[in-house]
Structure 1
Amino acid sequence: MNPATLPAAPFPLSILCLSDSWGGLELNTARFAGWMRERGWPVQLVVRPNSPLARRAQEMSLSVVLFENRWKALDVPAARRLARVWAQFGTRAVLITRNADLGVAVLAKRLFSPGMALVYQQHMQLGLAKRGVVHTLRYNALAAWLSPLPGLARQVLEKTRLAPEKLHVVPLGVDLAKFTDARLTTAEARRRLQLELPAGAVLLGLIGRFDDGKGQDFVVEALARLRPRFPQLHLLLVGEPTRNEGTAYYDALQGRIRELGLTNAVHLRGFTPEPEVAYRALDISVTASVNETYGMVTIEALAAGRPVVGAAAGGTRELLADNRTGLLFGLRDVDSFAACIERLLTEPGLAERLGAAGQAEALATYSHTRQCELTEQVLRAVAG
């Protein structure tokens, strides 16, 4: 190979995420930092003290800087400290994974580090239009904006004044190998989860934190409607209550399960660091979120080769091609959901066809290697 065609060597990369929560955004941030380190990039995570992300990064032995900005986007002293952190690490590009942190990052660039390349990795939908002066100045300071789905990228162009050439579609990735490992059989996965199901049981599952936006309550109600006709149906719910928001939703859900007489049919399990085990235990995976921006859980289920039934809302509509890689149902529409489940139970070969097509789509599009490669191309273009 001609040396001139070789990719530029990795350079120091800072990743900024000042979140106190622990969900998909934070988990993806930690995963991405680890993957980039494995690929030879010097990576530094700038996080809040005592945050779940800080603890996870330390468990992964990542380079961590603890940072606070009390006055958010107006915190000039914090912006000075942040620029100093970048300078000490030799940072040439900063990846910002949370919208709320753009303000202090842009302030640090404008006042103290004008040559820094700022790259925003989008995880959430924009919501209202952001075409005003403040947002326009902030987005103009970015060297690049990474959207995980084409639909989200179109939304960015519609709702902001971001220069189109700065916008790139980079799907968030999954370490697919552990979800496709055929050695982890359904029987073994159920054994690990201590699931004792009757012969002929069909296990539905929803993986994700217990939150009214995730739809566990909807699926429980739908199960109660379906079981008189399909008594073989069982439901696995895996997750934990949303951090710092109490257990009211989870407690109410448990009460409703008892009221509906579903105690023996609904199986609750806590958060697992091995989600592949939960997916491999299922016969059918359900995504019932009210407005899932991206839906990593959907991608993980696809990678595991499970047929996925998803609510036609948010990013799920883009991740699932209806009747090709999954089935879509009307948001919180029990009849529509029940029709999807009935099809999977009664149409010969449908579940296998959808599972195989969905897995092929996941392997082609959503590997963590592809996310890293596409991101590297952008980083080298803006800071190489």
Structure 2
Amino acid sequence: MARLLLINYEFPPLGGGAANATDNTARELAALGVEVLVLTSAFAGLPRVERRADGVEIRRIPTLRRRRDRSSVVEMLAFLASSLVMAPWIAARWRADATIAYFGLPCGPAAWVVKALFGAPYVVSLRGGDVPGFQYDGLSLYHRLAGPVIGWLWRRASAVVANSEGLADLARRFAPDQPVAIIPNGVDTQRFTPRDGAADPADGLSLLFVGRVVRQKGLDVLFEALASLPPAGLAGVTLRIVGDGPARPELEAQAQRLGLSERVRFLGWLGRDDLPATYRAADAFVFPSRDEGMPNVVLEAMAAGLPVVATRIAGNRDLVVDGETGLMLDTDDVPALAATIARLAGDAPLRRRLGAGGRRRVVDHFSWRAVAAAYRDLALAGRSAAGRVPSAQGD
């Protein structure tokens, strides 16, 4: 039986999209008959060793992680240092055939050490912020300093994978000679499903946003768009924000200043079991992000049968078909966002048509089983190219 080591400094309940992608891929790899061990950060009261009923084993190693929703550069460096010690120790006892490192940094160095010591090749799974040039607050200096290390790790990987065409293009601009494969994110279409029956038009328009509460996500633009609607257009429109982050105090103050406090609710992070019902209770999903890899939350919203209002950025363009599964607009375009919200508020048949189209698209083209199989095949192809790695049983 093949063995794969997955390294990600974030794993549920820590982190966001990349953490969920790791979790879903691990589960589906186990269902495909692969032995899976996940190496991630210790946190609060989470068990250091966990063996789940789905066959996935989780090892949580010491780090400085203090918050569930985000990690500072110092905390990521702490994971890097800890993983350089713990990954070889674990690999010596649990011989992986290959490693998948989510994020070139901070997870790639541990994967390289496992390769150097035990011959197990590694795949780097790019997630967005780990790619130089990705536009996200505070990353430009980090990318300038870490760029040489990132490129060095990519060149020694058996494969480098992006989750969207846009992210792959960005990676190729940074490293023109580096081949970059594309394996998109998936979604659990059995867990995220549309609501039963149509919404009551008298209830107004319930908008939903899910994600980290940071400037990158464009919530400031969304608030300005809502505030610009005439009283008749704003009547009945509400927004629920699932997630948390450093921009929340500023956004709460902005909502107060714009007179939106009664219409905008910050729910914080919700538990895994609460999220599907939250999607089903909404009428539309709004995602005005300024930059993305491939947003899991957009896939979840589409699986839940929601029309998606999204910006024309690389990650969104790979998922949303304008006029068929959602409506798209340029980043930072307050009038266009306001007009789009008003259009959806006044056209329930359009919402139903776009939501149904999104559901069909994810069922037909995106599944975690397909993602897991693609990663398995790519990782084990790297093992074959490098030569068979002996297992713990010596087969």
Matched letter for residue 202 of structure 2: A
Q: Give the conservation status (yes or no) of the 8 Å contact 1:19–1:48.
A: yes
Q: Aligned match of 1:122 in 126, 141, 144?
A: 126
Matched letter for residue 344 of structure 1: L
Question: d(CA) in 2 for partners of 1:253 and 1:351?
Answer: 27
Q: Which residue of 2 aligns with 1:174?
A: 187
Matched letter for residue 381 of structure 2: A
Q: Does 1:17 align with 2:23?
A: no
Q: Which residue of 2 aligns with 1:156?
A: 171
Aligned length: 354
Give the 5 Å matches for 1:39-58.
39-50=32-43, 58=50
Q: Which residue of 2 aligns with 1:96?
A: 101
Question: d(CA) in 2 for partners of 1:271 and 1:186?
Answer: 27
Q: Aligned match of 2:57 in 60, 63, 66?
A: 63
Question: d(CA) in 2 for partners of 1:255 and 1:211?
Answer: 14
TM-score, structure 1 length as denominator?
0.80
- Distance 1:31-1:341 versus aligned 2 partners, 3 A rule: same
C-alpha displacement of 1:381: 2.0
**Any idea what SS the aligned residue of 1:269 has?**
strand
Question: d(CA) in 2 for partners of 1:98 and 1:66?
Answer: 17
Q: Does 1:291 align with 2:283?
A: no
Deviations 1:299-345 (A, max 9, x none): 11111111111022341132222223221122121101122223334
Give the 5 Å matches for 1:111-150.
112-113=117-118, 115-124=119-128, 126-128=131-133, 134-150=149-165
**Any idea what SS the aligned residue of 1:327 has?**
strand
Q: Give the conservation status (yes or no) of the 8 Å contact 2:303–2:362.
A: yes
Q: Give the conservation status (yes or no) of the 8 Å contact 2:184–2:294.
A: no
Q: Which residue of 2 aligns with 1:340?
A: 340
**Any idea what SS the aligned residue of 2:153 has?**
helix
C-alpha displacement of 1:11: 0.9
Deviations 1:61-114 (A, max 9, x none): 6423344699969x899646523422311210111012212123223423x12x
Q: Give the conservation status (yes or no) of the 8 Å contact 2:210–2:242.
A: yes
Question: d(CA) in 2 for partners of 1:259 and 1:366?
Answer: 41
Between the two structures, name the one with larger relative contact order (CA 8 Å, sep ≥ 6): 2
Question: d(CA) in 2 for partners of 1:77 and 1:271?
Answer: 27
Q: Give the conservation status (yes or no) of the 8 Å contact 2:100–2:111.
A: no
Deviations 1:161-195 (A, max 9, x none): 5543xx32111111111222554x576xxxxxxxx
Matched letter for residue 231 of structure 2: P
C-alpha displacement of 1:224: 1.7
Q: Which residue of 2 aligns with 1:377?
A: 377
**Any idea what SS the aligned residue of 1:255 has?**
helix
TM-score, structure 2 length as denominator?
0.78
**Any idea what SS the aligned residue of 1:290 has?**
coil
Deviations 1:122-163 (A, max 9, x none): 211523499986544422221112211122223323321554
Give the 5 Å matches for 1:320-359.
320-346=320-346, 349-359=349-359
Question: d(CA) in 2 for partners of 1:333 and 1:23?
Answer: 26
Q: Give the conservation status (yes or no) of the 8 Å contact 1:72–1:104.
A: no
Matched letter for residue 155 of structure 1: L
- Distance 1:364-1:116 versus aligned 2 partners, 3 A rule: same
Question: d(CA) in 2 for partners of 1:134 and 1:219?
Answer: 37
Question: d(CA) in 1 for partners of 2:187 and 2:309?
Answer: 20
Q: Give the conservation status (yes or no) of the 8 Å contact 1:13–1:43.
A: yes
Q: Give the conservation status (yes or no) of the 8 Å contact 2:97–2:380.
A: no
- Distance 1:220-1:44 versus aligned 2 partners, 3 A rule: same
Deviations 1:282-310 (A, max 9, x none): 11110012212211111111111111110
Question: d(CA) in 1 for partners of 2:82 and 2:372?
Answer: 33
- Distance 1:186-1:219 versus aligned 2 partners, 3 A rule: farther
Runs of 5+ in structure 2 lacking a partner? 64-74, 134-142, 385-395
**Any idea what SS the aligned residue of 2:216 has?**
coil
**Any idea what SS the aligned residue of 1:294 has?**
coil
Q: Which residue of 2 aligns with 1:193?
A: none
**Any idea what SS the aligned residue of 2:58 has?**
strand
Matched letter for residue 178 of structure 1: R
Q: Does 1:261 align with 2:267?
A: no
Give the 5 Å matches for 1:187-202.
199-202=202-205
Q: Give the conservation status (yes or no) of the 8 Å contact 1:117–1:142.
A: yes
Deviations 1:339-365 (A, max 9, x none): 222333445743222222222111122
Q: Give the conservation status (yes or no) of the 8 Å contact 1:72–1:103.
A: no
Runs of 5+ in structure 1 lacking a partner? 1-9, 188-196
Question: d(CA) in 2 for partners of 1:276 and 1:345?
Answer: 22
- Distance 1:59-1:44 versus aligned 2 partners, 3 A rule: closer
- Distance 1:233-1:293 versus aligned 2 partners, 3 A rule: farther
Question: d(CA) in 1 for partners of 2:81 and 2:91?
Answer: 15
**Any idea what SS the aligned residue of 2:279 has?**
helix
Question: d(CA) in 2 for partners of 1:95 and 1:295?
Answer: 20
